Each structure stands twice: as C-alpha cells, then as structure tokens.
Structure 1
C-alpha cells in the first residue's frame, strides 16, 4: 500500500484535501492530510516562535507515524509553501520517502526562504523589510488572486477557501530551509497548474537552454504532469489531481529528455564576423573598431559611440565560461566593432531573482567605466538587453540619461514570470516606460517564444503605445529564444543585422 502525506500551502490546513483524500482512499491508498501548527483547526496553537522548523517537525511526526509494514511506500506532496516543510522533513527521513511531489510550487534549495516565492508583492516587501507582525492575516475573498490564480474555483470554493483560512505565522516564511542534500536523491514529480502560468513547455525550454541549474529537471526519476486549472487544484479539480497523484506514485509522467549536445549558449554565433582583439578591464570586455587607412590622423583619434551588451539570467555564480566568453556575446561585440563602434560585453551578478538591484548597479558601474575611456564618446551610448536582463530595462526607461541614445532588447523577458517569486517591483518595464520620453527602443521578438514570455512583451508594447514611446519591433517568425546560437537561418542573420543597424542609426555617425 502507498501512503500519501499531503501538506497544503499558506493559510490552509488538512480540510483543503478532503475531496482528494476521499478519492485516494477509494483507490486503496492510505492518506495523511497534515494540519501544520497554527493552521486549520490548530490555529490557536501558533505562538510568535512558530516557524518553518515547527512545521518540518509536524511533517516528520506524521511520516514517523506511518507503519512501514502496512505502507512501505510514502509519497509526500507539498503544495505552495507546503513544499518547504515537505523537503525539510524528507531530507531527515529519506529512507521512508519514495517520491516527493511538487504541486504548483517551486524547487527551493538549501538556504532559501519561503518568503522569496511569496507572489503577493506587498507582503513580500514587508517580509523583506521586517515590517510584518508575527502572523500574516489571511486573504479576503478578493485578495486570493495575489497568492495564485483562482482559475477554476467556483464561488462556493472561493468562499470555502476564505472561510477556513488561518493567519500564517511569519516565521514560517522567513526562516531559511536547511537541507543536508539527502532529499535531492529522491524521485520527484512536478504537477504544473497551467492556469497559474506553469507548463511543461517552459520546463523543456529551461532544460534545452543548457544552463547547469536546470539540468536536474531532466533526471530519469523526475516526471511532470499538467493540470488545466489555477493554483488550488484540490478545490477546482480534485478528481483529476487524485488521479495524477496516483500516477505519480507509480512513477508515471512526462520526462524531460536531455539533449546531450553542446549547450545552446556555447554554440557558434549566427554571423560569421572576423576575429578582433579585446581588452578586459574588470567585468567588461571592449572590442575596438579598426581605423580605415583613408581616415585622417585627426579623425582617427575621435572617440567612438559604444554599445553595451547585457546578458540575461539569473545565472549561477559558478557558470563557466561566463557570459562575456559565450560565442553569441563575443560575436555581438566583434560585430559592433566591425561597424565602427566600440562593442562592450559585461559580466554582471544577476544570480538570483532578488539580484536585479545588484545587477543594475553592476551595469551602471560598467557604463561609467566605458564612458570614462578616452576612446569612447561618453554622450553616445546604447544599452542592449537580452532575455532575463529585459527587466533591467526598467531602470533606464524610468529616467533615461542624456548620454543614452538607444535601448535595445532581444527576446526579452519584460515582467517577472509566475514561477520567479521575489523580484524588486522597480524592475517592471511596462510600469517604467511612461518615463522614457523620446528614448528610442529597438525590440527583437521571436515567433517561437514561450507563451508566458511572449505575453510580457505584448504587455510592454501596449504600455509603450499608450504613453507614446517609440518602439521599433523586429520580428523573427521562425526563431526561438536564443536564436543567434540555435537558429542558423537567414531570418536570424537578417534580424541581427537589422537590429544592429537600427541601434547604430540612433548613435549617429561613427
């Protein structure tokens, strides 16, 4: 017999699993919905010291109470915040757990706090600033949408969610999760609720991108399911969820296939550009243009405009080679220099979703260093953002300096994705674009983009149109995210060339 240990998310208790538990028991399974300290009918047991460790101990006691002879297989399910105590407990009892199910939640690591993934921005800011009381009030019926999509919930289900909700002890969200590493060896299943923005296609894109932090998602013992509903499938789709949990316990589900090839970010640049020497100064590399023989000596000494290329992320701090050594960014730097401007690539420290402020400071420092170089015209600079660095565009749109002649973005992500958790609200380009004034923006949009990323681009373009900011859109219909490395087609070559011409036109004569 399989035993299911079910741990719900913020504000809820064992009651939320009622219908799912009934269906699991009808299949012959043993079911243990968990009510954590201070939640559900245990709300009066919370004290100011109730924290994540309290909840981990709650789950450990339930696991220890499952008879190993009657139920040798234990599948532990964490929904939303519940994945934190689930992982903490499974890490301490790995010999009892046969599978960990992540139900519409993230994959936190050692040292992470649940507060980093709180989707309600106001609560997240309060947690960061230490301004919250020892318990966070439960949402009203109108506020649940801030904590996850309510897609699929009937009015009755939403009223039930509100009626039984309990305040969440703040310490459960602020105490870091501590893991020994034992839990990482356990089989895992992700159940993705597409109404909340997560889907298997997005996971496949992350794995196919080749970045090391996502490769564990392609392990043979890791599987995925999708549910076409919002963030509370135990209320909106209990029968389907129960069926998925039973299938997960049997090891079923979609597997992500590792490519086994060279990671896309290490493949050659789409354009064949001549090699050029580069100068490395701190975090930046400079690619300098040649001076044609026919140019006078006086003209050859004139400073040139510069284009600063800003790589995406977040990326782990230990990724090697670093982005400025990736063929695409080497290619962009060389290409800019071949056209008479200074190409600049920069390694910045966008290593996590809470690092956007630090990354923006790194870019500011890099630009100041570039502008101070006597070979660069300090009043003619363009900034060019890629992928997840698209959010950094907001920093420059909100109040563009006079020297910024153009901002460019290629397959950008222009709003935090639903799975990202904490991102400083300053970094929302659609909100910042009304401060851009007459700053020209060149945006390269790929036709085969992930749907959630594409939606952020459309929202930005709508906001830009409303406030009158000029955006030149370059479409690449048959290309993917990262097309300069993976789509070596004529469309890609033309798009890179067109975007570069557009940016250089705003910088003026070289």
Structure 2
C-alpha cells in the first residue's frame, strides 16, 4: 500500500481527481487530494503551504502534481523531502526559482492572460476551448459534455497564483521524479531538455523518467483508469 497526495492544476478543485482516487483506493492505496486555496490573496507560495499541510499529515507519499500544480509540488518536495517518496508531474514540470506560471507562455499569450486578469478584477477565469487553443493547450480527449462540466465547475485563478512563482530549494538527486507526458511526447521533451528550455532543463538528470499517456492536458478526466494504473506503478516497492 502506498500513500498518494494528488495536487490539481489551475482552475481545478480536489474533485478533479475523484475517478483516479477511486481506482487507486480500490487497489488498496491511501489517497489525499489537495484543495488548493482560491482566496483573492492566494499565491504560488500559499499553494505550496497547502500541499505541505497535507504532506505533514499524510506523508511519506508519492506526490503528484498536474499542470500548474507541478511547480508547486517541486517546491513542496524540497521543503518536506522526508515526506516524499516520488515526485510525479502530470503533463507538467518544475519551474526555476521564482518563475511564474505565466512566464511559461510566449509573449503574446502572456499579454492575453494579463489582459484577462485585468478584465476580471484580479482573477483569471478558465478559458473556453477556443481560448485554450489560442494558448496552445490541448483539450483532446474531452467530449463536449465533459468539457462543459469542467468549465462549469472551474474556479477562477487568483492573479497571485498566475503571476508569482514558488521559492525553490535544491532538488534531491536521490528523489525519483517522473513526467507523465500527455499532450507532448518524451521525444519532444528531450529536445527541449537538450535546448536548455528552463521548464525542461531540470529533467536531464538520471533521477528523471518519462511515461507517455497520449491524450489531452486533463488525463484525470479523459483517461482516469489508465492514469491511475500508471500512478500505481510508481508506488513504494516496499
């Protein structure tokens, strides 16, 4: 039996992990899905604190971060190393110290995101399918009904979460780290690693591995059973 701590990405609540969590629990594992704060003053750092609070009670655990939750998990693992068995990034990766999620986007997309926040009183609402296409985020695998439900349940992301980065420490090269690649391939990731792209460069070490799950950016909704199966492989062999 392994304990899993599941961290959602932008606009999502802990509910997004329901199907994955159910499959993991059915296999005998303990699962804790984190509810990240969406208060107006929330930041990337406060989201790290949210994860640390769960790890303090639930760890040692496999720590899993999706999308915007990935950089948060990287920072949390460095502050609570003894509580983390493995770090898993679902269609995401770490970001360098203090780098905000918005900075992962090209300049025109950054400008669009900042304009949306300004237009919506300091929060970024979840984009439409067309908006995600404009940002280059794949909604493949989600039929219209599933995407509509996702969009209806989405929580607006506070500006501080989008526009600030988490404080990083020193990654432990002895901590296993796995990227579940869904909307990109391992080959594409390795090209970006070789090119030194900041969001991928850290993945070059022998402590990193890849597992491909071809679907869109939300595999917990489009392929929950397969994602749970993959996560089950990453459990503590002891």
Length-normalised TM-score, structure 2: 0.86
SS of 2:167's equivalent in the other structure is: coil
Q: Which residue of 1 aligns with 2:162?
A: 173
The 1:64/1:75 distance shift into structure 2, 3 A limit, reads: same
Ranked by relative contact order (alpha carbons within 8 Å, sequence separation 6 or more), the top structure is 2
- Residue 143 of structure 1 aligns to a residue whose secondary structure is helix
Counterpart selection for 1:234 from 210, 220, 229: 220
- Counterparts in 2 of 1:91 and 1:151: CA distance versus 1, 3 Å: same
The structure whose Rg is larger is: 1
- Of 88, 96, 103, 1:116 maps to 103
Task: Report if aligned partners of 1:229, 1:236 keep a CA contact under 8 Å in 2.
Answer: yes
Q: Distance in 1 between matches of 2:150 and 2:75?
A: 26
What is the CA–CA distance in structure 2 between the aligned matches of 1:138 and 1:212, rounded to whole Å?
26
Provide the C-alpha distance between the structure 1 equivalents of 2:154 and 2:222, rounded to a whole number of angstroms: 17
* Aligned match of 1:186: 175
User: Which protein has the bigger helix share?
Assistant: 2
Deviations 1:88-137 (A, max 9, x none): 21121011101111111133111211111247944x21566896332112
**Structure 1 residue runs of 4+, over 3 Å off?**
118-122, 126-131, 140-147, 182-185, 203-207, 209-220
Which consecutive residues of structure 2, in runs of 5 or more, have no partner in the other structure? none
Give the aligned length.
233
Identify the match of residue 138 of structure 1 among 105, 122, 126: 126
1:222 to 191, 208, 219: 208
- Structure 1 residues 211 and 6: alpha-carbon distance in aligned structure 2, compared to 1, 3 A threshold: closer
Aligned-pair CA distance for 1:215: 7.1
- Check whether the contact 2:123–2:157 (CA below 8 A) recurs between aligned residues: yes
What is the deviation of 1:162? 0.9
- Structure 1 gap segments, 5+ residues each: 39-45, 252-510
Alpha-carbon distance between aligned partners in 1 of 2:197 and 2:68, rounded to the nearest angstrom: 25
CA RMSD of aligned residues (A): 2.7
Which of 82, 91, 101 is the matching residue for 2:88?
101
Distance in 1, matches of 2:166 and 2:225, equals 32
Contact kept? 1:120, 1:146, Cα under 8 Å: no
Once the two structures are superposed, the pairs formed by residues 300-319 of structure 1 within 5 Å of their partners are: none
Deviation per CA, 1:369-399: give whole Å up to 9, x if none: xxxxxxxxxxxxxxxxxxxxxxxxxxxxxxx
Q: Does 1:7 align with 2:28?
A: no
Q: In structure 1, the residue corresponding to 2:63 is in which secondary structure? A: strand
